């Protein structure tokens, strides 16, 4: 895995009971909680940091030496999230749009909806069923 890549989220998220969850745009009241490793990486996927910085940061959270498999675990998490199209990789830093930059509960719902439609992230209700283009 190329650890010089930047990683960024492509899904709207929320916090539920101290766990990160992905919002279902077809049913905004529904969300899918992620396991702690996946949630941690998605929460840090701001488009401004490289994979190596993520590895270094998570390693620094351990008192003493991090587990031997930490780097491989993080790579595996990133692979799973990119396969699910929840996270993408970039050669350059990415500025996340408003609706991806902060948790759903901190957003102005109308502003987020308007920006999602403008960006083509979802379709306008008058254009048929909405859905993520991410």
- Measured between alpha carbons, how far is 104 from 90 in angstroms, rounded to an integer? 24
Which has the closest alpha carbon to 22: 39, 3, 4?
Answer: 39
The tens-digit pLDDT sequence of the chain (134 residues) is 999 999 999 999 999 988 999 999 888 678 999 999 999 999 999 999 999 999 999 999 998 888 999 999 999 999 999 999 999 999 999 999 999 999 999 999 999 999 999 999 998 766 544 444 44
Stated pTM of the model: 0.86
**Are residues 14 and 21 in contact, defined by beta-carbon separation less than 8 angstroms?**
yes
């Amino acid at each position: 895995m190329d650890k010089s890549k930047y990683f960024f989220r492509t899904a709207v998220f929320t916090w539920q009971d101290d766990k990160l969850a992905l919002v279902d745009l077809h049913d905004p009241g529904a969300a899918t909680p992620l396991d702690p490793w996946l949630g941690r990486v998605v929460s840090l996927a701001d488009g401004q940091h490289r994979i190596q910085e993520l590895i270094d940061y998570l390693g620094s959270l351990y008192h003493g030496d991090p587990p031997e498999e930490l780097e491989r675990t993080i790579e595996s998490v990133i692979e799973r999230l990119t396969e699910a199209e929840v996270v993408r990789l970039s050669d350059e830093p990415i500025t996340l749009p408003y609706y991806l930059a902060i948790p759903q509960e901190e957003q102005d719902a109308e502003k987020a909806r308007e920006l999602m439609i403008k960006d083509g992230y979802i379709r306008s209700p008058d254009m048929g069923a909405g859905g993520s283009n991410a």
